């Protein structure tokens, strides 16, 4: 899903834009456990990719849920 952004440049899409992300009030133990159980073994320590995949999977699940509810 690559939306064109007319306000920036003609060839720019949302996927071309990078955003710095800061988390507040997240327990260190939760981040540590996520890093140890998910990031290290499955992403070879690449936290950025792990978070991207987590966000994409959550959005996909939400879309599937909404599609299922609409059909009912």
Between the two ends of the chain, the Cα-to-Cα distance in Å is 26
All structural domains of the chain with their residue ranges: 22-71
pLDDT one-digit tens code per residue, 20-64: 989 899 999 999 999 999 999 999 999 999 999 999 999 999 999
Report the b/e string of 25-36 with b at 16+ CB within 10 A.
eeeeeeeeebee
What does pTM read for this prediction? 0.69
Phi, psi of 4 (to 5 degrees): -80, 145
């Amino acid at each position: 899903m690559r939306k064109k952004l007319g306000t920036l440049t003609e060839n720019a899409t949302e996927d071309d834009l990078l955003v710095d992300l800061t988390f507040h009030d997240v327990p260190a133990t939760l981040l540590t456990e996520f890093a140890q159980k998910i990031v290290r073994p499955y992403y070879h320590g690449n936290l950025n990719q792990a978070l991207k995949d987590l966000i994409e999977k959550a959005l996909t699940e939400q879309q599937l849920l909404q599609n299922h509810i609409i059909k009912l």
